[in-house]
Amino acid sequence: MSVDIQSVGVVGAGQMGNGIAHVFALAGYDVTITDISEEALNDAITTIEKNLSRQVSRDKITEAEMKAAMSRIVTTLKLTDLGSHDLIIEAATERETVKNAIFEDLIPHLKPHTILTSNTSSISITRLASRTDRPEKFMGFHFMNPVPVMQLVELIRGIATDAETYQSLLAVVEKLGKTAASAEDFPAFIVNRILMPMINEAVYTLYEGVGNVRSIDESMKLGANHPMGPLELADFIGLDTCLAIMNVLHDGLADTKYRPCPLLTKYVEAGWLGLKTQRGFYDYRGDVPVPTR
């Protein structure tokens, strides 16, 4: 018996949180977004409206569907307001202590059937679940960025997750019109387990002087048919995120092939985190991105 999910609470109004709220509202769910910042919540609503408008202009959805989706989204600064929802998706900062604190605050306010999920890209689902009162109703629900565009959702079962919870989320992914990939709970799951070492290897290729930024990206775009070069993609994801996931892989699997490239660490130390700080492997402060190496 899977749970009938009608209402969804999203914790975190950042890039991932607002994208998740967008696709759920469009699929007919009532959505509440919470964040510790009023400004972040306002920005999220503006972004969702802008992204829905873009879908209308491209004839992906109708004006009426956009209006209906916007009417299903509410925001709150009170985390506990999410307690009455059927499904909670935590999309806060990729730090385990932050995630644990959020679940701890939420638990006393949840309904018995509420499913808890995390949009983490690399943290152990089993470990996060074990700190809650419902490890059997806890899963990894990993959306890809940008959420409205990307087709894949990774579903990650912890060691205690029951079949009913998994079936419920499988049905949700289908209703969203996306495709589920089931992953076991090992460091970085499927996508990042494969993608991040490739990005890290591209940084090593740069670090060792085998190619410059442009030649590495062009090689993978034109030689392997990748839509974006690995260094360009790293800038888009955020170099701090890439480094954090490489560290999770290196710590969790204890294999030297996952050792983060010292140059990646150096860029993060410089605060050159990619697109979000205007500088990474490219400098985005001018009209066109210019390689920084």
Q: What is the distance between the alpha carbons of residues 213 and 216, in angstroms, rounded to a whole number?
A: 5
Q: Long-range contacts made by residues 104-109, C-beta under 8 angstroms, separation at least 24?
A: 104/131, 105/79, 105/80, 106/11, 106/79, 106/80, 106/82, 107/132, 107/133, 107/134, 109/80, 109/82, 109/83, 109/84
Q: What is the distance between the alpha carbons of residues 136 and 190, in angstroms, rounded to a whole number?
A: 22
Active-site residue 212, yes or no?
no
* Active-site pick, 168, 192, 200, 232: 192
Question: 153 with 143: CB under 8 angstroms?
Answer: yes
Cα 226 to Cα 16, 31, 175, 293, distances in angstroms: 23, 35, 29, 21
- Cis preceding-peptide flag for 108 (omega within 30 of 0): no
* Active-site pick, 90, 119, 122, 154: 154
Active-site residue 192, yes or no?
yes
Active-site residue 121, yes or no?
yes
Residue recorded with tokens 């130390």: 269
Q: What is the distance between the alpha carbons of residues 268 and 117, in angstroms, rounded to a whole number?
A: 29
* Active-site pick, 51, 118, 119, 121: 121
* Active-site pick, 142, 168, 200, 232: 142
Q: What is the distance between the alpha carbons of residues 211 and 243, in angstroms, rounded to a whole number?
A: 21
3-state helix, strand, coil in the chain (%, to 5): 50, 15, 35
Question: 143 with 150: CB under 8 angstroms?
Answer: yes
Residues in Cβ contact with 198 at an 8 Å cutoff, skipping those fewer than 6 apart: 230
Q: In what order do the strands lie in the sheet containing 30-34?
A: 73-76, 30-34, 7-11, 87-90, 115-118, 138-143, 152-157, 179-184
What are the catalytic residues?
Answer: 121, 142, 154, 192
